[in-house]
Amino acid sequence: MNVTEPFDKAPYDPNDPNPWLALYLDMSLPLPDEVKAALLANCSSRSRQFLLPLIRPMAKMSIMAFQVLKIFIPNWLTSSRILHYTIYLGLKWFVRPDANYLILRHFHLGSEILQFVASNVCPEIPLRPLRPRDLRGLIDNTFLQHDLNIYNFIIRLNLELKARGKQIEPKTHMRFDMVTSGPFDIDVASLPDGPLNILDLETAIEIYTPLYQLLLTDSDFWRACNSLQLDETVAIYCARLLNDPSYVSLVNNKHPLVPLSTLQAGYRLLLHGLAAECLHATLVRHKLAANMHST
C-alpha cells in the first residue's frame, strides 16, 4: 500500500493548483509523509464528498434518539462485545485500507505516548499497551480499553504526584526507547481492499458513533466522548517534560473541564487522531535529536 505515490507523482499546474498537493507538501505539521498522504486521500475521496454530508445529520439524529432511549432503558442492548465485533466487520468490508491503517496506528501511538510520560515521571504506573497488528486485533475490547487506559493513567499519575508532592518538570535526560521511529508492527498487506472498501475515515467514524451510544452504557459513552478533550492534558504533560510548549498550540480538542456535546464526537475523534499523530511525531523528532546529541 503505497499511499504517497499519488501525491509524489501529482502534476503541478500554477493556474489550477491542487489543494491536496499543497497540504501534502506543507511541512508545518510534524507528520510522516505516509500519514499525511493517508489522511489527505481520505479527505479528498468521493465518499467524504458525497456520503458524509448525508450521513452526518442522520448520525446526529440517531445519537439524540438513542440518548432519549437510554433515559428509559439505560442498559438495554448494552454489549461491548457486539460493538467491537460490529466495528470489526464494518472496517473489514466497507472501509478503505488507508483509513484502516490509520485506525490501527492510533492504538500504537496512544500506547507509546502514555509509556513515554510514565517512563519519565512514574515508571511504576501499570499500563496496558494496545498494539493490534491487524483488524482482528480490534475485536478484544480495544476501543473501550483505549479510553480506560487514558483515564486510568491520568488518575494514577496524579495520585502518585500528589503523594510525592511533585509536579511534572523538564528533564535533561529522558527515555525514548518506547517511541518507535520507524514503521509499526502492522500487517498492512492484510488490510482489505475489495470493491466495497470505499468509506473514508471520517464517514466511518460518523457511522460508528451512534453505535457507541447504543451499545455502550451511558457512562462508557460519555467517558469515551469526554476523553477526546484529554488531548490537551496529555500534550501539557509532554510539553512540560520536553520543555517545549510549541506542540500544545496544535491541539484542537481542548478544555476538558468544559466538555463539549456528544453530537460533535465524530469530528472530534478525527481531531483526536490528528493530535496523537502530531504528538508522536514530535516525540520522534526529540528522540532523533537526543540520539544525535549523544553520539
Tens-digit pLDDT profile for residues 83-140 = 999 999 999 999 999 999 999 999 999 999 999 999 999 999 999 999 999 999 999 9
CA distances 243 to 120, 260, 286, Å, are 13, 29, 11
**pLDDT surpassing 90 at residue 249:** no
> Taking the CB of residue 284, how many other CB atoms lie within 10 A of it?
18
Q: Would 19 be classed as within a structural domain?
A: no
Confidence of residue 44 (pLDDT cuts 50, 70, 90): very high
Instruction: List, in sequence order, every residue forming a beta bridge with 199; answer none if it has no partner.
Output: 95
Query: What pLDDT, on a 0 to 100 scale, did the predictor assign at position 295?
Result: 64
Q: Is 90 inside any structural domain?
A: yes
Residue closest to 108 by CA, chosen among 76, 79, 133, 71: 133
Structural contact between residues 275 and 227, judged by C-beta atoms closer than 8 angstroms: no
Mapped onto helix, strand or coil, the DSSP state of residue 226 is helix
How many C-beta neighbours within 10 Å does residue 289 have? 11
Structurally, how many domains does the chain consist of? 1
Please indicate, yes or no, if residue 28 is contained in any of the structural domains: no
pTM score:
0.96
User: Length of the chain, please?
Assistant: 295
Is 18 part of any domain? Answer: no
Residue 200 near residue 45 (C-beta atoms within 8 A)? yes
The whole domain housing 174 covers 5-13+34-294
Q: What is the pLDDT of residues 137-175, one digit of tens each?
A: 999 999 999 999 999 999 999 999 999 999 999 988 899
Does residue 9 belong to any structural domain of this protein? yes
